[in-house]
Structure 1
Amino acid sequence: MDKCNLCKNNDADKTGSHIVPHFLLKRIENIDGKTDRDYEIGYKIERLKSASHFGRSVQPERLEETFGEITDEDIDKNKHPLVVDNFLCSDCEERLAHIEGIYSQTIETIEKTEYESGISTSNGILFWASVLWRLSVHGESGVKLTAVQNELLRVILDSFLPAKNEKFNEKLIAESDLVKELSYKIIRCHNCVQDEAKWLLFHPDFYDSLCLFIDEFVVAFSLSGQHDEFNTKDCFGINDLILDAPVNIIGGNEVIKPFDRSIFIEFSKKIVDMVKDVYVGGLDEFFDEVHVAAGGKGDKMPAELKQEIMAEITSDEKKNGRKYSQDEIVKSTYEVMKKYAP
């Protein structure tokens, strides 16, 4: 058995580990205001690849509404991409659960003006470091940190996450050179509606000040204490908001800067546009490859044919949970191209 990714000593014997803490993940994916596990319907979109998953407790009629007929094969293949086995040992799972339990208490505290969340920055740094580290090491978030960054975060977590039944040592972490350059900023939409689409996006263009969109939060986490990247790279139009947010460093109380839902809606539109560009860019190359393989003239599929295939892929007759999957892309491409076969 592989060793635990965190402590590197114990066997990675834990099953069902959440790469993203459930108390946040459920706010992104759970349907109908449900708060328990297994009520999620989620989507993952990458270049020329879209996948979906659903919880075991979602009612059949809701699944049919989203996916159409659910087959035994669908059920067999259904797996949450952010719930994994043999990533951690049981001891480290409990250590992470402890810091998650502390941070989850902040969710209920929210104000319209800058406010303290109710925990120390030491707890906040460990919590957000744990989320970023897991997303990166797991490798399915679209972004991976450098080996040096991953190892730094791992060592920090392994050094300061208390073992079961131990108390968190604020003094120990405050005096450590390992964390003296760490800082983070956190902004939060204070009036999002419950059923509004939320995001889990590890921004691919930020390397020094790591940027995570999660639920109604945006977190800018720096390993060097600097957030200058937001002066030079676009972050869906919210650069000034992040730059104006208070810096959280070891030795204080976590402070959050709230923002209005109108801003959330605007940057969500920009995220959607980026996702479309990534996805459609892959489709464009795929269509050209199919065109060449089928013996078409030139190395590009005619634009009109691409448009017709895209219309077939995005048809209102197709269920949202199916229409962007690889199987549906291939099927739609075949259905359109066979009409023009000699």
Structure 2
Amino acid sequence: MKCKLCNEKEADQTGSHITSAFLLASQIGKRGEENGYLITTNPEQDYSKNQGDTGIKEDFILCRGCEKRLGVVESIYATEITQKIEDEKYEQNFERIDFENGHYKLNCKKISSIAFQLLIQSNIWRASISKQPVYAHFQLSPELEERLRFNLDLFLPTYMNNKISQSEKDWIKMIEACKDIFDCIPLATIKAEKIENKDATFEFFDNLSKNPYHIILNEYVIYLFNNSLDWYDDFFELKDEFILNEIINDVPEKAIITIISNERYMQIVEKIRDLAVKQRIKKIEKQCIKELLSKGVQITPDVLKQMVIEKVNEIKM
């Protein structure tokens, strides 16, 4: 099987993280010490089982070279954003602009805006091509998926003779000189201000919202738009809280992260959790009805409610 990124070399890499490992380190722990718990609507799921990071890794979708190429932008983002955005020592690296509703945005001054875009694009693209259960329901349109793939392959560092052939400095100089051909697919990147307990965050890829696509990666809420910047879908209910042109990354010169309060972020998370619980209860109810019918038991609201409660109590947490 060919690498899904370069479409040339054999996909010989094992254990490729679909989501950049550093983005989820607060959730799953360090490499080799991962702790991961998948939240689904499956009535049979055992929540007591630590799944580690197996659900966010996949074998044989990338070649080793492309894995290394992706690692370059991951390293840059981790160094310039993840390690500094919440540290007051580096506040000069981020130009803060406040909004009237209490939210604000940060213009990230120390990272290449193209490297910033490539990191976000790469995570969305990998989720779209993955067959892992966490991501399998999420699918970009074929045209958009190919736009992302082509953009990544064109702009990621060159890999030759079993190594990255450019220094980070030379690569950034090169991509900055090619801004006019970079496909800057519109993105809004929104972050919870400063969540201390990041075990409370998680990954979510909405399978219904397309205009824009709705994504949560740890403490980030990400919207991927089409070129017309249509904002019709509003599952996260943030549309009325922003003027889109003020937060969108739609030209190569922009590297904007919009900040919302921890409380506002958790409202979104809790909404998703509540919906998952409701869907799971519905599935348990259907399962109970089938069992009662098979046993010839008369189904009444009280009988059904009692059986559902028993099933819920059997779930291992």
TM-score category of the 2 structures, normalised to the smaller one: 0.7 to 0.9
1:103 aligns with 77
Q: How many residues align?
A: 285
1: CA distance between counterparts of 2:258 and 2:67? 30
For 1:192-231, list aligned pairs within 5 A.
192-224=195-227, 226=229, 228-229=230-231
The answer for the alignment partner of 1:179 in structure 2 is 183
Given that 2:187 and 2:248 are in contact with CA atoms closer than 8 Å, whether structure 1 keeps it comes out as: yes
Question: RMSD of the TM alignment (CA)?
Answer: 2.7
| Residues 120 and 251 in structure 1, CA contact (< 8 A), matched pair in contact too | no
**Paired residues for 1:51-200 under 5 Å:** 66=48, 80-105=54-79, 106-107=81-82, 108-110=84-86, 113-117=104-108, 118-139=110-131, 140=133, 141=135, 142-163=137-158, 164-166=164-166, 167-168=171-172, 169-171=174-176, 173-176=178-181, 179-180=183-184, 182-200=185-203
Deviation at 1:312, TM superposition (A): 2.4
Mean Cα deviation higher: 268-277 or 302-311: 302-311
The 1-side partners of 2:315 and 2:275 are apart by 23
Deviations 1:193-214 (A, max 9, x none): 2255102011223213222111
Report sequence identity in percent: 21
Larger displacement relative to structure 2 (125-134 or 232-241): 232-241
Q: CA deviation at 1:49?
A: 5.7
**TM-superposed deviation, 1:51:** 5.9
User: Post-superposition shift, 1:130?
Assistant: 0.8
Taking structure 2 as the reference length, the TM-score comes to 0.79
1:296–1:145: structure 2 CA closer, same or farther, 3 Å change rule? farther
**How far apart are 1:46 and its partner, in Å?**
3.8
SS state at 1:45 partner? coil
The aligned amino acid for 2:285 is: D
In the TM superposition, what whole-angstrom CA distance separates every residue of 1:225-248 from its partner, at most 9, and x where no partner exists? 51x32xx33323322235455111
Q: Mark the CA change 1:154 to 1:194 in structure 2 (over 3 Å): closer, same or farther.
A: same
**SS at structure 2 position matched to 1:285:** helix
1:260 aligns with 261
**Matching of residues 17-28 of structure 1 within 5 Å:** 17-28=16-27
Partner in structure 2 of residue 71 of structure 1:
none
Tell whether the 8 Å contact from 1:44 to 1:51 is kept in structure 2 after alignment: no
Question: What SS does structure 2 have at the residue aligned with 1:8?
Answer: coil
Shift of 1:9: 1.3
Match for 1:237: what amino acid?
Answer: E
CA separation of 1:223/1:303 partners in 2, compared to 1, >3 Å: closer, same or farther?
same
